[in-house]
Amino acid sequence: MKKEERRQVLVIGHKNPDTDSICSAIAYAALKNKTEDAYFEARRAGEINEETRYVLDYFGVKVPEFAADVGTQVKDIEIRMTKGVDENISLKKAWRTMRDNNVVTLPITEGKRLKGLITVGDIAKSYMDVYESTILGVAKTPYANIIETIDGHMIVGDEHAVVDNGKVLVAAANPDLMESYIEENDLVILGNRYESQLCAIEMNAGCIVVCEGAEVSRTIKHLATEKGCTVIMSPHDTFTVARLINQSMPIRYFMKTEGLVTFRMDSLVDQIKDIMAKLRHRDFPILDARGEYVGMISRRNLMNMRRKQIILVDHNERSQAPDGIDNAEILEIIDHHRIGSLETMGPVFFRNQPLGCTATIIYQIYKEKKAEIEPKIAGLLCAAILSDTLMYRSPTCTWTDQMAAEELSAIAGIDVKEFAKQMFTAGSNLRGMAPEEVFYQDFKKFNISETEFGVGQISSMDAEELKELKGKMLPYFQEASKDTGLKMIFFMLTNILEESTELIYWGRHAQQLVSDAFFIKAGEDATVLNGVVSRKKQLIPAFVNVLSS
């Protein structure tokens, strides 16, 4: 089955993704594509950091596509592929098209571009309204439309020409009386009387419609050709032709072109629901990213919408999930953090293990399924473990993590120490970056006992770089508070070689929280925590003990 035909499932990590979040998503999507029928695609919920970019470049793997929001989009709805029609078709043909396709709105297109819309209400109004007898000319009605509408055929003239002036009239009187009301360029509906046909042509009528299938004499044809008069024959009587002929007008005269409400394929359903409810239109056109017409949706289509199917890796916190997660269907969660606040609509496969890295769990699943681990996938998983465990220095690192990394490094063909050094060096090259870029490299929100705060972390082998970052980050925290809405912000400047962290912070109760959590007298805005390198295993549990007591 082709990729386009399979059910799509997105594998995605947390906002402000780190190397583990990105690499685990890529590796797990690759495994799922080997073992299941759906199409699994790795995505990212934020910008990748320099360390992760180095890893992906090293193993020749593309950066996953950005998923700003995983809420249901228009493209997840069943779109009715109503074909666009030309603006010159007749009202009658538009009505038949609607009836045959069981629709009440027709899109008028030129090529792939939407020009306007016409509804069954517009057509009904055209039938009920009383128009001037010159309406066919005002509407620039093609003769082809007239022929089609009255089931006629052309005797003399060009069916591609249009009626551009003159009035429509029925010639029921004798020729003497006809001469008093037929004017130049009029369209005259008449019967089989030779004298009436001759009179209309001699009065310079633009067109005569001969009814009831009457034969048109050779003389009339010859004279009509000389005078430039179009001759059309219809099998219907004059009453029927007179009733039908206004239905030949082109729909461009009635279509709506101003203020059209359209939606894009990537529009979120939550955003369009209110618009659809307020306007109460039956149908809405859908355009693609190029602004080209795709199809139509109605409020009824929202009842059968397909929620995006998601697998979350490396987190189970609602605050860290991509926007729109409440409107997505979560199928699985693979994580190594504490169980957080995320709720699901139904039971899910939830694998949570006390390991140093989600990538270690992904590695285990590969082994359990006896699936081959390609060298580049092995490299990504190994890099994730080295990153999350700070090359085995973090207290979160387990023997299982280390053994997995060593086996994966052999498959990938890399030297662990040399690769880790290059990776950390690439990730800590932050001197030229703006404070906000550094801040969101690895930043997570937490809510413990109704106290909300955020913790960012940067790990480096360069003490001077960390010192420089401290002077850059502290002044930025007040602006970060406005952007995130948080009243307390912490940032870990972790020295990998010294296995210590200088914790800098901002907020009214931040200093006191650090003092209480680590039983120290914390500095006004910074404190060195020796032996503390893990946010998950050391910092957050210490905060939880204080905030939960």
CATH 3.10.310.20 residue ranges for the chain: 435-547
Q: CB burial class (10 A; 0-12, 13-18, 19+) of residue 508?
A: exposed
* CATH placement of domain 75-126+253-304: 3.10.580.10
CATH 3.90.1640.10 residue ranges for the chain: 3-71+308-427
Contacts of 264 (CB under 8 A, 6+ apart): 74, 286, 287, 288, 289
Helix (H, G, I), strand (E, B) or coil at 408: helix
Is-above-0.85 flag for pTM?
Answer: no
Distance CA 282, CA 104 (A): 7
Contact 129, 123 (CB under 8 A): no
Record: fold of 3-71+308-427: inorganic pyrophosphatase (n-terminal core) (3.90.1640)
Question: What number of other Cβ atoms are within 10 A of residue 393's Cβ?
Answer: 16
Q: What is the CA angle 391-396-401, rounded to 5?
A: 60
CATH 3.40.1390.20 residue ranges for the chain: 140-248
Distance CA 253, CA 135 (A): 10
What is the pairing mode between strands 39-44 and 8-12? parallel
Tell me the sheet residues that pair with 447.
452
pLDDT at 528: 96
pLDDT digit string (tens) for 235-293?
999 999 999 999 999 999 999 998 899 999 988 888 888 888 888 788 899 999 899 99
Q: Which parts of the chain register pLDDT below 50?
A: 1
Q: What is the CA angle 152-158-163, rounded to 5?
A: 80
Kindly state which CATH superfamily the domain 140-248 is placed in: HprK N-terminal domain-like (3.40.1390.20)
Q: How far, in whole angstroms, is CA 284 from its chain's centroid? A: 16
CATH 3.10.580.10 residue ranges for the chain: 75-126+253-304
Name the phi and psi angles at 183, rounded to 5: -120, 170
Contact 156, 224 (CB under 8 A): yes
Maximum separation of any 2 CA atoms in the chain, in Å: 117
pLDDT digit string (tens) for 117-163?
999 888 888 777 667 788 898 899 999 999 999 999 999 999 999 99
Q: Which CATH architecture has domain 435-547?
A: Roll (3.10)
